[in-house]
Structure 1
Amino acid sequence: MSVERISTGVSGLDEVLDGGLIRGRNVLVRGSPGSGKTIFGLHFLSAGIDAEETALYINMGEPQAYVEETADAFGLNTEQIQFHNLSPTQEQFSERNSYSVFESAEVEQPEFIEDLRDEVDKIKPDRVLLDPITEFRYLTSDERQFRSGVLGLLDYLKEVGATVMLTSQAGGSITDDDIQFLVDAVISLDVTPESRAVNVSKFRGSSFRRGNHSYDITDEGLTVWPTLVPGEQEREVESGTLSSGVAELDDLLHGGLDQGTVTILSGPTGVGKTTTGLQFLIQAALEGKQSILFQFEEAERTIRKRADAIGLPLQDALDSGQLSIVEIDPEEYTVGEFEDLVREAVTDGTEAVMIDGSQGFQENLRGLDNTTGALLRIGRFLRAAGVSTILVNEVHNITGDFHATEERTSNLADNIMFLRHVEYRGKVRKVIGTLKMRTSDFERSLRELEITADGIRVGEPLPQLRGILTGTPEWNDTDTASKHDVDNDEQT
């Protein structure tokens, strides 16, 4: 049997709920003080007003004026929302000097229930918000009466066809386990000093996206960023390669990086990872492929200045409109917001993405408790979408034992290219090689990499360089090495 979906009014949450809430059922939104439960509920009612539905707010907490001010601050439509206030008025508070107005001895429960039913019969609401339902405990004499009262109220609202949202301010000695058992769906808002996450733990009659999804409260209200799911924007990968535009580097890769693959570009600081990756991205843009650089490590002005210094046509690629740079500053985005940027880039037709780099990714994003998991999720999403992806990964040891990656993401990579510092006769040189290409063959030898005023220069294979994977590389062919030194000195 098909069910009718209605929007929650919260951006991104309908996607988590596989299309929205089910009309005529109820949902519990639970969270600590300040997590955004009331704002959540106001979005829900405002969406109903926008859909020409009737909305009833049963207010058991904050004064109505405060709720309306909150809604106005976020631009939510509340003018047509009907309020039924069970919260204490200022006069009651002044008289009692406490909120004991909610104690069962002070309330005639039959009259309370009757008034509420009369209000529902009069308004015939399509949507109802009870905020917060935990205050209902103070209107009942014991736990048994509380549970039976909530169940009776929900059954009555279901009879009149209302979709109901309840909020719960559970915490400390107050639990809402019994309410979770009674409702059709449960949505939790979890808040930490670094991030906010929404989690759906129950949704009768519907599938939903499990796990934590980032959310935040901004001037525009509450927004949810669904966690990326590999394959949600799957598209066929076009045949072809991502060329670097440097013939010798493409030779090392037997033509370039296959389209739609994930490449990890690994090496220690200062070895040229960003420059090498940028070479691929610029060439892709100049060939008409929509490309984007997510920059975690450096300021855009620094990248532009360095590109100018070594002759990379970065400005041409930017001017073409095919390349864009998104600078990710520390603490600017949650991991969910960044994943949404990636999703938007794919939706807009991006064909090549570079993430620079894994260390900045870990340090700059808020709410990131599993760097490896997030990188794997993003990489698999981009691969399924047919996007050529370059992930710049920094290894901490400049010399010594060889490590392909630091974040244990090598199983994600279709291709692994590594750059390495080596010492020869008191000089530090750079070499580049390929450790893995899943979809094509590649050259097994190492080549010298130089970054000059004329751009990237990749030399011929270096059969005399051995032992780099052992951590103690050596130049075994003295004659060849000496000749190479002489040639370099003559060029200088």
Structure 2
Amino acid sequence: MNSPPELDPAPLPTGISGMDDILRGGFPADCVYMVSGTPGTGKTTLALQFLLEGVRSGESCLYVTLSETRREIEKVAVSHGWDLTGLNICELIPTEGNLSADAQLTVFNPSEFELGETTQAMIAEVDRCAPQRVVLDSLSELRLVAQNPLRYRRQILALKQYFAGRDCTVLMLDDCTGSDADNQLESIAHGVVSLEHLANQYGAERRRLRVVKLRGVAFRGGFHDFTIKKGGLDVFPRLVASEHRHDFEDRDLPSGIEELDALLCGGLPAGTSTLMIGPAGTGKSTISTRFAVAAANRGERAVMFVFDENIGTFRSRSRKLRLGAEDAITNGLLTVQQIDPAELSSGEFSNTVRRAVEGTDGLGQPAKVIVVDSLNGYLNAMPEEKFLTAQLHELLAYLGQNGVVTIMTVTQAGMVGVMQSPVDTTYLADNVILYRFFEARGQVRRAISVVKKRSGKHELTIRELNITEEGVQIGPALSDFQGILTGVPTFHGKSSDLLQQGGNGN
């Protein structure tokens, strides 16, 4: 009788949730993997997290270091708040005796015995610990000792064969200091993870990783941003909207302003994105805040990502204009996060939004309203990104499929007449609300209109918008004026429905 085929063991979690998401659960067990990257990309940190996850699971784990001392590794652990108790560390680095003059005098090539000694010491430690997880740091030392590519490759093949018979999952770290020919080792490993460290022209550096290969696993391809902070690597998997489809109720989100809701014929539909576009000072941020506060007043959480002003200024403006944001923030139903444009990657921002929507950010329940104020700040935060619009499209698709109402503001250059936008995003948005300044009766006034609503009808009228310390006022349709959107309208009527002016807005 034929015995049933053995099932593959469950993948080993890495201890990094984002990494496990990319690997579809972790590294497949009992295989050899290569983790490559230049110095400073985070290889040692990733390796320690992988081993410590094994220690927490009760596994025997071994760190074999060929370049760093135990003390240096312990310093890395202390910086992250980790306890290395239970982790076996094997140092295979040259001793002080190698510095003496006599040690330098030999008729043999050092590689003839050093490679064999290093390998034997490593095998002896593995036999002693019988580990389930092993980290070898780093391949560059073995490469230098071997001296020629053929001997080096054969040594790695021998090590792979050795570990294959001992149910070990091995991470071999490579600092990419060898020649291009060393890429041939990628064919030996069961999987290859590449870490990169990029320096922008301004602002913080950016780190990203890519799974080059992982045999037998439909891993998440492409580049994924990550950061190194206290506690280890925080990996932000590339957002794929098609993987996050959820049913939601078909409803409208009202603003609480009767005239504005009339313009929208009820409010903003769930699962849609809205672009509020116009010059600076026309009231885009104020109206966005009103929608967020209206959601909070109904017991739903709203999150505002503020690029262009600090939280202190936001709260002060909200109090002066009686927007009600203060109570919503106190109740935990409105979260305002200030984004530093120079310290952010697009992947990190997308995952910050995702965690808010899924309620895993630790700041409250899942968010139903997301406000990005403004897209100008978002674009300026990542000026070196080549595919920022494509990433924004993926983010909006994800939010729409989760029933979230997304509001974005865009500030156009100019005050009246022809306006210039930093990027054309109107085609991405389901709804577009247009803001304009216009001149009337010797005063600069504001106008608001809805020019696009993909999922329903809306008014085609233009109304006056007035923002004062008494709150937001929206007047009746400006039917007696023509040319308001040009900034200098003409009056064609016997009466005017202009509001009493006063105050200012954002």
Q: Do the two structures share a fold, i.e. TM-score over 0.5?
A: yes
Partner of 2:250: 239
Matches of 1:409 and 1:388 in 2, distance apart?
17
> Given the alignment, which residue of 300, 318, 322 partners 1:311?
322
Aligned position for 2:394: 377
Residue in 2 aligned with 1:183? 189
Partner of 1:396: 413
Distance change in 2, residues 1:385/1:175 (3 Å): farther
Residue 255 of structure 1: aligned partner? 266
- Per the TM alignment, residue 400 of structure 1 is displaced from its structure 2 partner at its CA by 2.7
CA gap of 1:269–1:86, structure 2 versus 1, over 3 A, is: same
- For residue 173 of structure 2, what is the aligned residue in structure 1? 167
CA distance in structure 2 between the partners assigned to 1:192 and 1:223 by the alignment: 16
2:438–2:489 CA contact under 8 A, matched in 1: no
> Which of 52, 55, 59 is equivalent to 1:53?
59
Deviation at 1:95, TM superposition (A): 5.0
Paired AA for residue 478 in structure 1: H
2:462 counterpart of 1:422: no
Deviation, structure 1 residue 250: 0.7
**CA distance in 2: counterparts of 1:182 and 1:242, whole angstroms:** 56
1:202 pairs with 2:213: yes
CA contact under 8 A between 2:140 and 2:178: conserved in structure 1?
no
Alpha-carbon contact 1:268-1:396 (below 8 Å) kept: yes
TM value normalised by structure 1:
0.90
Matched, 1:33 2:39: yes
Superimposed CA distance per residue, residues 372-401 of structure 1 (whole angstroms, 9 cap, x where no aligned partner): 233223222211111111011111232233
Cα offsets for 1:267-316 (capped at 9, x unmatched): 11111100011111111111221111111111222222222222222223
Matched residues in 2 for 1:239 and 1:118: separation? 65
1:324 aligns to 2:335 (yes or no): yes
Cα distance in 1, alignment partners of residues 433 and 322 from structure 2? 23
| Residues 20 and 254 of structure 1: CA distance in aligned 2, closer, same or farther (over 3 Å) | same
SS in structure 2 at match of 1:66? helix
Residue type of the alignment partner of 2:49? H
When normalised by structure 2's length, the TM-score is 0.88
Equivalence for 2:373:
356
Cα 1:87–1:457 shift into 2, 3 Å: same
Q: 1:106 to 1:365 in 2, by over 3 A?
A: same
CA shift in 2, pair 1:181/1:475, >3 Å: same
| SS of structure 2 residue aligned to 1:19 | coil
Partner SS for 2:496: helix
Cα distance in structure 1, aligned partners of 2:95 and 2:449: 74
Counterpart selection for 2:355 from 325, 328, 344: 344
Name the residue aligned to 1:478: 492
State how far apart, in whole Å, the 1-side matches of 2:481 and 2:93 are.
79
Number of equivalences: 483
**1:435-460 deviation digits (Å, cap 9, x = unpaired):** 21111011112111111222111111
Is contact 2:412-2:419 (8 Å) kept? Answer: no
Tell me the secondary structure at the aligned position of residue 483 of structure 1.
Answer: coil
Distance change (3 Å), C-alpha of 1:28 and 1:277:
same
| Kept after mapping to 1: 8 A contact 2:278/2:410 | yes
CA RMSD of aligned residues (A): 2.7
3-state SS of the aligned residue for 2:250?
coil
The answer to whether the Cα contact below 8 Å between 1:104 and 1:138 also exists between their aligned partners in 2 is no
Q: Deviations over 1:208-258 (max 9, x none)?
A: 122222212222222212232224443222122111111111111111111
For 2:391 and 2:350, locate their aligned partners in 1 and report how far apart those are by CA, in whole Å: 9
* Cα distance change, pair 179–104 in 1 and its aligned pair in 2 (3 A): farther
Residue aligned with 1:196, SS: strand
Shift of 1:411: 2.6
8 Å CA contact 1:127–1:164 kept in 2: the answer is: yes
Distance 2:355 2:242 in 1: 14
Q: Check whether the contact 2:480–2:496 (CA below 8 A) recurs between aligned residues.
A: no
Which residue does the alignment assign to 1:144? 150
AA partner of residue 426 (structure 2): S
The CA distance in 2 between the partners of 1:111 and 1:61, in whole Å, is 15
Pick from 410, 425, 434 the counterpart of residue 409 of structure 1: 425
Aligned counterparts of 2:409 and 2:187: Cα–Cα separation in 1? 47
C-alpha displacement of 1:127: 1.0
Distance, in Å, in 2 between the alignment partners of 1:97 and 1:301 is 66
Question: Which residue identity lines up with residue 68 of structure 2 in the other structure?
Answer: E
1:60·1:135 contact (CA, 8 Å) conserved in 2? yes
Residues 476 and 497 of structure 2 are in contact (CA less than 8 Å); yes or no, is this contact kept in structure 1?
no
Q: Per the alignment, do residues 34 and 103 of structure 1 end up closer, same or farther by CA in structure 2, a change over 3 Å counting?
A: farther
Deviation at residue 340 of structure 1 after TM alignment: 2.7
Counterpart contact for 1:195–1:367, Cα < 8 Å: no
Counterparts in 2 of 1:11-160, with a 5 A limit? 11-93=17-99, 104-105=110-111, 107=113, 109-160=115-166
CA distance in 1, matches of 2:198, 2:37: 12
Q: Percent identity?
A: 33
Aligned residue type for 1:337: E
Separation in 2 of the partners of 1:309 and 1:103?
80
Gaps of 5+ in 1: none
Cα deviation for residue 19 of structure 1 reads 0.8
Structure 1 stretch 329-338 or stretch 223-232: which is displaced more? 329-338
Conservation of the 8 A alpha-carbon contact between 1:45 and 1:55: yes
- Cα distance, 1:227–1:136 mapped onto 2, change above 3 Å: same
> Are the equivalent residues in 1 in contact too, given 2:90–2:125 (CA < 8 A)?
yes
Q: Whole-Å Cα distance in 2 between the matches of residues 197 and 453 of structure 1?
A: 47
Distance change (3 Å), C-alpha of 1:108 and 1:171? closer
